[in-house]
């Protein structure tokens, strides 16, 4: 994983040269607003990390001057790759990431752990010689998960492991007890709509090939269930691998459709409920979930930079979100993204490499639970006039896995 992290970091140096357009779409819903395309594929693990435009500039649709400039970065890129794969920096990002998540664990919006982790990162940025290190205050929601439990009552009693979704409503204080309808898809639910009224709707959808395509059941499950008269919904966790582990996440409601409580249950339990129903059993479940509504608190977006030596007012952002959900370590979502952002800058500092533009590491706050991009939205509002200073912004929030490429969003010219 340490190598993976630096594969991405190394690429950043090359990538900033290529991106000359401005990209204002740094909020999470950019995926829906503008087309995306696979920008470039990286070579296999351990191969020299040099993008195709450096390796084969003749294939790039760029001006000769720009091609020559890209080629001129080859020595710097090779120095970075050598340092990461075989130098003193080998394994550093992964080790630092491990230390970070061990020290702070889950860092949910509004928590002390989140603010402590922000203090730590500010300190780390200063210690590693970044400039203009500062936090910018943001008012954020304070998320605290309430009581959550569910039990299968008939045909036998069984505890159901679950995690409430955000921003689900809670159940009435005494909970809900109702018959159950298990469906395998939205189409299946429509076909069985007449049986749904007054029931707890369980979605036992198959894995749809990717997280993104499967997550639609978590996102729209409560809407679809309520539309046909369901009074609550339990959704199979969005994962293709489970050891009886439920997975939480965001969901939505729709105007004029009743807001019903929604939680994710495990893959194993969803399959069990489906099998029982299909074998002719009548299912009944009790379900109780409470939501705490706490006053908003103050958090911080975090910044640190290496000032550019030719175009200091032009920025290249490297970012991830420092907060996480409450029930995991938030290692991949998204301490990994924040760590590669800062480590790329620390590495350049250690190697004494400079850049034309200012490289700015940005650690967004309050992106996940109860939030959906509060930190980044605040930044966009507050820095509206400065957004045009960005030549490119990197955002890592899909897990710090083996790098296979970059998703690019922006104008044709920037692409």
Binding range to Zn ion, per CB under 5 A, among 191-199, 229-237, 282-290, 393-401: 393-401
Site string for Zn ion, 152-191 (x = CB under 5 A): ----------------------------------------
C-beta closer to Zn ion: residue 87 or 250: 250
Q: Closer CB to Zn ion, residue 5 or residue 202? A: 5
CB nearer to Zn ion: pick between 83 and 323: 323
Alpha-carbon span 120 to 169, nearest angstrom: 34
CB of 324 to Zn ion, least distance (A): 8
Q: How far is the CB of 28 from Zn ion (least distance, A)?
A: 8
Q: Which residue is associated with the tokens 């034309």?
A: 356
- Tell me the C-alpha to C-alpha distance, in Å, between residue 401 and each of 63, 120, 233: 33, 24, 32
Given the complex with Zn ion, which of 83 and 395 has the nearer CB atom?
Answer: 395
Segment contacting Zn ion by CB under 5 A, of 174-182, 190-198, 296-304, 329-337 = 329-337
Q: What is the 3-state secondary structure (H, E, C) of the chain?
A: CHHHHHHHHHHHHHHHHHCCCCCCCCCCCHHHHCCEEEEEECCCCCCCCCCHHHHCHHHCCCCHHHHHHHHHCHHHHHHHHHHHHHCCCCCHHHHHHHHHHHHHCCCCCCCHHHHHHHHHHHHHHHHCCCEEEEEEEEEEEECCEEEEEEEEEECCCEEECEEECECCCCCCCCCEEEEEEEECCHHHHHHCHHHCCCCEEEECCCCCCCHHHHCHHHHHHHHHHHHCCCCEEEEECCCCCCCCCCCCCECCCCCCCCCCCEEEECHHHHHHHHHHHHCCCCCEEEEEEEECCEEEEEEEEEEEEECCCCEEEEEEEEEEECCCCCCCCCHHHHHHHHHHHHHHHHHHHHHCCCCCEEEEEEEECCCCCCCCCHHHHHHHHHCHHHHHHEEEEEECCCCCCCCCEEEEECCCCCC
**Min CB(63)–Zn ion separation in Å:** 36
Active site residues: 367
User: Least distance from C-beta 382 to Zn ion, angstroms?
Assistant: 21
Segment contacting Zn ion by CB under 5 A, of 33-41, 232-240, 373-381, 391-399: 391-399
Quick one: which segment of 84-92, 235-243, 268-276, 325-333 binds Zn ion (CB under 5 A)? 325-333
Which CB sits closer to Zn ion, 308 or 317?
Answer: 317
**Contact flag: residue 326 with Zn ion (CB under 5 A):** no
Contact positions with Zn ion (CB under 5 A) in 332-371: 333-334
The answer to whether the beta carbons of residues 258 and 227 sit under 8 Å apart is no
The Cα–Cα gap between 324 and 365 comes to: 9
Q: List the x/- string, 60-79, binding to Zn ion by CB under 5 A.
A: --------------------
Q: Min. distance of Cβ 215 from Zn ion in angstroms?
A: 12
Binding segment for Zn ion (CB under 5 A), chosen from 145-153, 179-187, 344-352, 390-398, is 390-398
Based on CB atoms, which residue is closest to Zn ion, 89 or 214? Answer: 214
Minimum CB distance to Zn ion, residue 130 (Å):
23
**Residues 202-241 as x/- pattern, contact with Zn ion by CB under 5 A:** ----------------------------------------
Q: Least distance from C-beta 112 to Zn ion, angstroms?
A: 20
b/e burial code for range 266-279 (CB count within 10 A of at least 16 → b): bbbbbebbbebbee
Rounded to a whole number of angstroms, the minimum distance from the CB of residue 290 to Zn ion is 25
Range 249-278, binding Zn ion (CB under 5 A): none
For Zn ion, which residue of 83, 397, 400, 410 counts as binding (CB under 5 A)?
Answer: 397
Closest to Zn ion by CB, 115 or 333:
333
> Judged by CB, which is closer to Zn ion: 250, or 258?
250
- Binding residues for Zn ion, rule: CB under 5 A, are 333-334, 397
């Amino acid at each position: 994983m340490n190598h993976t992290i630096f594969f991405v970091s190394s690429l950043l140096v090359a990538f900033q040269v290529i991106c000359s357009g401005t990209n204002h779409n740094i909020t999470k819903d950019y995926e829906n607003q503008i087309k995306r395309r696979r920008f470039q594929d990286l070579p296999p693990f351990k191969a020299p990390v040099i993008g195709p435009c450096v390796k084969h500039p003749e294939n790039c649709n760029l001006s000769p001057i720009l091609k020559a400039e890209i080629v001129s970065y080859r020595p710097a890129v090779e120095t970075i790759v050598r340092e990461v794969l075989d130098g003193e920096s080998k394994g550093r990002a992964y080790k630092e990431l491990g230390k970070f998540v061990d020290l702070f664990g889950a860092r949910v919006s509004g928590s002390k752990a989140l603010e402590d982790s922000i203090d730590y990162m500010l300190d780390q940025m200063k210690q590693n010689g970044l400039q203009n290190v500062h936090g910018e205050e943001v008012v954020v929601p304070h998320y605290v998960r309430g009581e959550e439990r569910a039990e299968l009552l008939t045909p036998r009693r069984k505890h159901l492991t679950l995690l409430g979704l955000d921003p689900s409503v809670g159940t009435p204080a005494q909970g809900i007890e109702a018959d159950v309808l298990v469906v395998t898809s939205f189409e299946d639910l429509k076909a069985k709509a007449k049986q749904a009224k007054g029931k707890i709707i369980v979605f036992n959808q198959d894995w749809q090939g990717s997280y993104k395509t499967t997550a639609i059941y978590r996102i729209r499950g409560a809407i679809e269930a309520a539309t046909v008269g369901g009074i609550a919904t339990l959704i199979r966790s969005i994962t293709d691998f489970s050891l009886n582990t439920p997975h939480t996440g965001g969901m939505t409601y729709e105007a004029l459709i009743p807001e019903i409580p929604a939680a994710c249950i495990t893959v194993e339990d969803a399959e069990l409920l489906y099998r029982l129903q299909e074998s002719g059993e009548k299912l009944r479940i009790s379900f109780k979930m409470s939501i705490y509504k706490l006053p908003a608190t103050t958090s911080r977006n975090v910044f640190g930079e290496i000032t550019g030596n030719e175009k200091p007012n032009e920025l290249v952002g490297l970012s991830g979100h420092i907060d996480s959900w409450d029930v995991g370590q938030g290692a991949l979502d998204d301490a990994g993204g924040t760590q590669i952002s800062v480590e790329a800058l620390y590495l350049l500092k250690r190697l004494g490499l400079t850049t034309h533009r200012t490289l700015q590491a940005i650690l967004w706050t309050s992106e996940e639970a109860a939030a959906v991009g509060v930190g980044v939205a605040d930044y966009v509002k507050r820095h509206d006039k400065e957004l045009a200073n960005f030549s490119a912004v990197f955002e890592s929030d899909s897990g710090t896995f083996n790098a296979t490429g970059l998703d690019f969003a922006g104008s044709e010219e920037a692409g």
